[in-house]
Structure 1
Amino acid sequence: MSTPLTEQEMNAIEQYDEQQRFNYLLKQAITNQEIWILTDEHGCVMLNSEDEDCVPVWPNQEFAQSWATNEWQDCQAQAITLDKWLSHWSPGLEEDELAVVVFPNQAEEGLVIYPYELESELKHRLKKK
């Protein structure tokens, strides 16, 4: 379980560029053994990039929940254990031909990658741990 972030920490991290947010998510996922998504009564929320349907993922509850506004106001942040992400989510997203948008900020900017790319980075960092 991660230590809650202060508003000041969240504001500073929000200013990271896409690559810095990607690295932050990887570090937090390895440390806390979880990845966060938003869900509603229909399941996981989705974003659309120019080319892909994407599942947004966040490094912790605070960032995921900060997206639960406007049309997503009824959504809840949900943790997925890293083991479950690697064993079920990553292959399932690949099978459904969905991409992942890594730690989108409030300006809706985030690195769009394929699930196997996120899985590969996570496994690489787990080995180094």
Structure 2
Amino acid sequence: MSTPLEPTMVETIQRYDAEKRFKYLVKEVVANRQIWILIDEHGCVMLNTDDEDCVPVWPNKEFAEAWATGEWDSCKAEAVSLNKWHSRWTHGLEDDELAIVIFPNQDEDGLVVYPDELDYELKQQAKKGK
């Protein structure tokens, strides 16, 4: 289980650029063995870019919950275990031709990656940790 983040730490991390947020997410997800999504009564929240339908993911509950405002305020943050992510989500997202938007900030800015790219980065990080 992850330790709650201090509010000052949350603010600092939210100011990271998209690339730095991606690296932070990979490290946190591997360290905590979970990745965070937002769900509503219809399932997982989706975002759309010009080219892709995307599932947004966050490294910690605090960031996912911070995003659940305005039109998203009925959404709940939900953790997906890293094992479940590798075994089900990566293939499921690929089969549905969905991309992932990594740790979007309040401006909806985040790196868009394909499920296999995130899976690869998570596995590389896990190897570093051993």
TM over 0.5: yes
Once the two structures are superposed, the pairs formed by residues 50-61 of structure 1 within 5 Å of their partners are: 50-61=50-61
Partners of 1:122 and 1:14 in 2: CA distance: 21
2:40 counterpart residue number: 40
Partners of 1:39 and 1:118 in 2: CA distance: 20
Deviation string 1:10-53 (CA, Å, 9 cap, x unpaired) is 11001101110000000000100000000001000000111100
Sequence identity (%):
60
Partners of 1:85 and 1:20 in 2: CA distance: 22
The one-letter code matched in structure 1 to 2:22 is F
Partners of 2:4 and 2:126 in 1: CA distance: 23
1:114 counterpart residue number: 114
Structure 1 outlier segments of 4+, above 4 Å:
none
Deviation string 1:60-91 (CA, Å, 9 cap, x unpaired) is 00000111111111110000000000000010
Gaps of 5+ in 1: none
Partners of 1:86 and 1:25 in 2: CA distance: 15
Root-mean-square deviation over aligned CA pairs: 0.6
TM-score, structure 2 normalization: 0.97
The answer to whether the aligner puts 1:105 opposite 2:114 as a matched pair is no
Partners of 2:58 and 2:109 in 1: CA distance: 12
Partners of 1:61 and 1:14 in 2: CA distance: 13
